[in-house]
């Protein structure tokens, strides 16, 4: 029970991190039709800038400043490079961001080195957020923060007690993602700026005719989108590792999220992020293979079958490819994506 | 009813075409005589492989408008299939001569293109790009799981000297492998060029330019994309098979995203809009991978920057730049503008030298912190911690780019002038 609960929370927090990234990507895509290949690079940039600012001003200032800086860099890139390529169509736009992902990776290695840096979250977030105590007599109970030692080690041998902790950084990750989601929703649906953005999304010419500067709206959206990636970077970087490979590990997953959710659909991105986060977290935790399943069912397994590498694969080994399998299945059975409306 | 001509039509031989293909064959034949060191023959073989791979990639990108981030899947899996065929031939269980091993690789690539292409080509545009990216990740992740086929970390290695020698050809010496590669390159390039002239190749261009109208004239765009994808997979597999014979080892990185990215980068740099563009790109790719990566550790940064500027300022790649100037030369205006080119080249080199010196210094500081801060860049001794080196580099860079801007303005002015002249000239000729 406590395994399920903690894994679920871990999965949800990872999914929410993916959503923080894919929401920016979706926003930029639905607005400009550009799939920002360098989105994960901005995530990495956010983490590294956050790491540097963390050393100078402390975590909370970094949490605020790093996304702003990352967003400013994103807006700058849009202004100087992406806007120039816009006239050539979508493929060159994608290519320009592809080139940028190379450059950012190399620049990050140039400035911060090729090995992981130690991005320590503040003391407040270092311990566990809460501890689940499984008591074989009293059942399940919850203790905020770290549980005192006597709760986890019973003096009586007959009573079994297991403590499972949930890290505070992950809790914080969920909190930030939810606040961000609410903020984004309010901004898009309840403000005048959001109204202009939504209108520019479908009818850019009409919006321009009404006197709004559409290129500037685009630049702002790109800046906000990359800023969100930067925010995810500060949180992801302090929770996991801040290293040059972090963009590549998360990069292809968020593209899967965007396609599975349906290109340009924020709701779909949310659903797909959570789904992929939860599925991947659970898959890692299960060490079962097809061979074990066959043995469980009472079927005889030959020596050749026991050495077969397909049958021997455990679910945790398959976990990294699950999102891509999911992508293929979605494309075969529901090409639009989960909540998508676009056919192409 | 067969189409029979009712009248005589004068159809001259396309002399220029025969000259170009003859020259291409001659270059392939004579290149190892000119560059005859071990390294250069090996590089020439790699270039042949890269030419086939990049041209097959361009069948998707240039002709079909399909931006694939996973082309290495097909070259890589072709490599693996070819390597397993080579091993089987060595153990005597598969009677295939080494000469035909690349074809086996091609069939392997084609098989996987049939399999994965069905899903990939369901969509076009950005979604297609994302699917190919996902497929590439999928195959790469699988390569670490199934060690029987992929050989795990160590990869699969074999021996290309298999079977009886035929007319003294054993494929032991590198030069024989080069000529095998050259023969395959010539045939594959010719076949791929021929493909652009087939009805399928033409309708593929139409699918790229206006899929809606293609649907209206009764073609299934998805089907066209799928067929093109399969053919591209076949040629990619041949390239992979040749690479297997050449290197005698295949590791998981041949299906990795780095390799796919390289195909994309260099095909684009060479130019996706002309048939011969990817050939230039492939030659540059091998030069960059073998020589540039030896020369500097920052080569990926330079590559990314070159690519970014290429997309921004010359989206047709190097081949389009060549064609633009050929047009100029055809109208006899190249002599007017070559001074501006020299100016642009020299000032850009100065600016880049300054920039590169700074990048190299930062890399030096970042990577060899324990060693001395001194390094040699382009024959000049620099000290990465001294003020003088930095001041010098910044000064050189600013001077270079300042002059470049001036040269660029002059060049733009000249260019406009020649274009106006050419337009006028075309109108005048039409009026005649």
Task: Dump pLDDT digits (tens) for A98-147.
Answer: 899 989 998 898 888 888 888 887 777 777 777 777 776 666 677 776 66
Highest mean pLDDT among A169-173, B128-132, B214-218: B214-218
What letter would DSSP give residue B384?
T
Q: Is residue B3 part of a domain?
A: no
Q: Which of B275, B293, B318 is the last residue of a domain?
A: B318
- Residue B104 has what pLDDT? 92
Which residues from chain A sit within 8 angstroms of residue B123, using beta carbons? 331, 335, 344
| A324·B147 Cβ contact <8 A | no
> Tens digit of pLDDT for each residue in B45-89?
999 999 999 999 999 998 988 888 889 999 999 999 999 998 888
- Residue A307 has what pLDDT? 66
Quote the number of domains for chain B: 2
- Residue A344 has what pLDDT? 47
Is there a single domain that holds both residue B273 and residue B390?
no
> Tens digit of pLDDT for each residue in B267-298?
988 988 888 889 999 999 988 888 887 777 77
Cβ-Cβ contacts under 8 Å between A and B: the total is 125
Can you list the residues of chain A whose pLDDT is less than 70?
A: 1, 136-140, 145-158, 160, 300-311, 341-344
Is there a single domain that holds both residue B269 and residue B397?
no
Q: Is residue B186 part of a domain?
A: yes
| B127·A332 Cβ contact <8 A | no
Closest CA to A81 of B116, B310, B222, B182: B310
Confidence of residue B130 (pLDDT cuts 50, 70, 90): confident
Average pLDDT estimate for B306-327: 85
pLDDT at B1 over 50: no
Average pLDDT estimate for B26-37: 82
| A100·B367 Cβ contact <8 A | no
Sequence-distant (≥ 6) Cβ neighbours of residue B124 within 8 angstroms: A344, B65, B66, B207, B211, B221, B225
- CA dist A227 to A230, B67, B272, B277, B306, Å? 5, 27, 33, 38, 26
Is there a single domain that holds both residue B204 and residue B339?
no
Average pLDDT estimate for B220-239: 93
CA dist A198 and A209 (Å) reads 15
Interchain contact B366–A (C-beta under 8 A):
yes
CA dist B75 and B81 (Å) reads 10
Is there a single domain that holds both residue B184 and residue B121?
yes
Average pLDDT estimate for B198-204: 92
Q: Is residue B6 part of a domain?
A: no
- Domain range for B425 is 331-431
> Tens digit of pLDDT for each residue in B402-423?
888 888 888 888 888 888 888 8
Is there a single domain that holds both residue B207 and residue B155?
yes
Q: Is residue B30 part of a domain?
A: yes
| A259·B131 Cβ contact <8 A | yes
Interchain contact B301–A (C-beta under 8 A):
yes
Q: Is residue B58 part of a domain?
A: yes
pLDDT at B11 over 90: no
Q: Is residue B9 part of a domain?
A: no
Q: Is residue B2 part of a domain?
A: no
pLDDT at B189 over 70: yes
Q: Which two tokens stand for residue A137?
A: 């007599």
| B366·A107 Cβ contact <8 A | no
Is there a single domain that holds both residue B314 and residue B364?
no
Of A81, A313, A317, the CB nearest to B312: A81
Average pLDDT estimate for B179-196: 92
Q: Is residue B253 part of a domain?
A: yes
pLDDT at B330 over 60: yes
Is there a single domain that holds both residue B49 and residue B178?
yes
Is there a single domain that holds both residue B117 and residue B89?
yes
Interchain contact B369–A (C-beta under 8 A):
no
Of B129, B131, B304, the CB nearest to A103: B304
- CA dist B97 to B26, B92, B164, B169, B170, Å? 26, 11, 9, 11, 10
Which residues from chain A sit within 8 angstroms of residue B362, using beta carbons? 110-111
Of A99, A263, A328, the CB nearest to B127: A263
Is there a single domain that holds both residue B261 and residue B392?
no
Confidence of residue B205 (pLDDT cuts 50, 70, 90): very high
Average pLDDT estimate for B24-30: 85
ipTM, 2 dp: 0.82
Q: Which of B253, B283, B318 is the last residue of a domain?
A: B318
| A327·B131 Cβ contact <8 A | yes
Q: Position of tokens 């030959």?
A: A302
Most B CBs within 10 Å, among A76, A104, A252, A264, to test the B interface: A252
CA dist B83 and B85 (Å) reads 5
What letter would DSSP give residue B255?
G
In chain B, pLDDT over 70 holds for what percent of residues?
95
| pTM of the predicted model as reported, rounded to 2 decimal places | 0.86
Task: Name the least confident of A54-68, B156-170, B337-351.
Answer: B156-170
Note which residues in 208-267 of chain B have CB less than 8 A from chain A.
Answer: 257, 261, 264-265
Most B CBs within 10 Å, among A321, A336, A341, to test the B interface: A321
Is there a single domain that holds both residue B254 and residue B395?
no
**B171 or B315: which leads in pLDDT:** B315
Most A CBs within 10 Å, among B137, B148, B215, B310, to test the A interface: B137
- Residue A131 has what pLDDT? 75
Helix, strand or coil, per DSSP, at residue B148:
helix
Which residues from chain A sit within 8 angstroms of residue B137, using beta carbons? 252, 321, 324
Of B147, B300, B315, the CB nearest to A88: B315
Show me where the domains of chain A are located. Answer: 2-121+169-245
């Amino acid at each position: 029970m406590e395994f399920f609960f903690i894994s679920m929370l871990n999965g949800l927090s990872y999914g929410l991190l993916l959503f923080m990234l894919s929401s920016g990507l979706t926003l930029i895509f639905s607005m400009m039709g550009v799939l920002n290949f360098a989105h994960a690079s901005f995530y990495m940039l956010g983490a590294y800038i956050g790491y540097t600012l963390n050393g100078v001003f402390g975590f909370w200032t970094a949490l605020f400043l790093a996304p702003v800086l990352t967003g400013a860099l994103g807006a700058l890139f849009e202004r100087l490079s992406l806007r120039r390529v816009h006239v050539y169509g979508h493929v060159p736009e994608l290519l320009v961001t592809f080139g940028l992902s190379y450059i950012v990776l190399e620049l990050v290695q140039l400035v911060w080195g090729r090995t992981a840096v130690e991005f320590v979250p503040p003391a407040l977030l270092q311990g566990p957020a809460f501890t689940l105590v499984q008591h074989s007599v009293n059942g399940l109970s919850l203790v905020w923060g770290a549980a005192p030692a006597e709760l986890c080690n019973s003096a009586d041998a007959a009573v079994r007690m297991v403590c499972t902790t949930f890290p505070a950084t992950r809790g914080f990750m969920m909190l930030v993602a939810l606040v961000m989601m609410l903020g984004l929703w309010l901004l898009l649906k309840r403000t005048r700026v959001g109204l202009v953005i939504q209108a520019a999304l479908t009818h850019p010419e009409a919006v321009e005719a009404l006197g709004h500067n559409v290129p500037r709206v685009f630049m702002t959206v790109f800046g906000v989108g990359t800023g969100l990636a930067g925010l995810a970077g500060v949180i992801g970087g302090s929770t996991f590792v801040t290293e040059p490979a972090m963009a590549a590990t998360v990069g292809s997953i968020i593209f899967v999220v965007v396609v599975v959710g349906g290109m340009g659909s924020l709701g779909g991105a949310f659903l797909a992020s959570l789904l992929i986060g939860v599925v991947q977290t659970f898959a890692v935790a299960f060490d079962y293979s097809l061979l074990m399943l066959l043995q469980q069912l009472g079927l005889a397994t030959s020596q050749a079958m026991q050495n077969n590498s397909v049958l021997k694969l455990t679910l945790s080994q398959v976990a990294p490819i699950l999102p891509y399998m999911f992508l293929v299945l979605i494309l075969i059975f529901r090409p639009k994506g989960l909540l998508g409306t676009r056919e192409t | 009813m067969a189409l029979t001509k009712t009248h005589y039509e004068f159809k001259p031989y396309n002399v220029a075409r025969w000259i170009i293909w003859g020259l291409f064959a001659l270059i392939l034949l004579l290149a190892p005589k000119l560059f005859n060191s071990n390294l250069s023959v090996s590089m020439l073989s790699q270039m042949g492989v890269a030419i086939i791979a990049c041209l097959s990639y361009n069948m998707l990108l240039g002709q079909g408008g399909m931006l694939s981030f996973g082309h290495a899947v097909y070259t890589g899996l072709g490599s693996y299939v070819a390597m397993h065929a080579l091993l089987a031939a060595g153990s005597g269980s598969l009677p295939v001569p080494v000469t035909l091993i690349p074809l086996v690789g091609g069939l392997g690539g084609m098989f996987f293109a049939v399999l994965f292409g069905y899903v990939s080509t369901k969509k076009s545009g950005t979604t297609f790009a994302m699917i190919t990216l996902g497929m590439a990740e999928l195959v790469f992740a699988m390569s670490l799981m199934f060690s029987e086929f992929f050989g795990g970390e160590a990869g699969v290695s074999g021996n290309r000297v298999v079977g009886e020698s035929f007319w003294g050809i054993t494929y032991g010496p590198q030069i024989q492998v080069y000529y095998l590669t050259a023969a395959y390159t010539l045939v594959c390039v010719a076949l791929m060029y021929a493909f652009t002239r087939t009805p399928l190749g033409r309708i593929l261009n139409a699918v790229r330019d206006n899929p809606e109208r293609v649907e209206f004239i009764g073609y299934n765009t998805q089907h066209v994309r799928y067929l093109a994808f399969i053919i591209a997979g076949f040629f990619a597999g041949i390239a992979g098979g040749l690479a297997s014979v050449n290197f005698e080892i295949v590791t998981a990185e041949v299906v990795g995203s780095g390799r796919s990215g390289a195909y994309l980068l260099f095909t684009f740099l060479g130019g996706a809009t002309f048939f011969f563009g990817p050939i230039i790109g492939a030659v540059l790719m091998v030069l960059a991978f073998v020589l540039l990566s030896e020369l500097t550790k920052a080569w990926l940064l330079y590559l990314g920057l070159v690519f970014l500027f290429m997309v921004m300022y010359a989206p047709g790649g190097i081949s389009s730049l060549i064609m633009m100037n050929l047009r100029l030369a055809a109208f006899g205006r190249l002599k007017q503008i070559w001074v501006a080119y020299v100016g642009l080249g020299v000032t850009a080199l100065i600016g880049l030298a300054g920039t590169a010196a700074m990048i190299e210094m930062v890399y030096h500081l970042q990577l060899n912190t324990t060693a001395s801060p001194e390094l040699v860049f382009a024959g000049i001794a620099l000290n990465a911690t001294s003020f003088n080196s930095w001041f010098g580099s910044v000064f050189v860079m600013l001077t270079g780019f300042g002059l470049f801007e001036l040269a660029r303005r002059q060049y733009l002015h000249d260019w406009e002038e020649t274009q106006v002249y050419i337009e006028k000239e075309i109108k005048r000729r039409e009026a005649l």
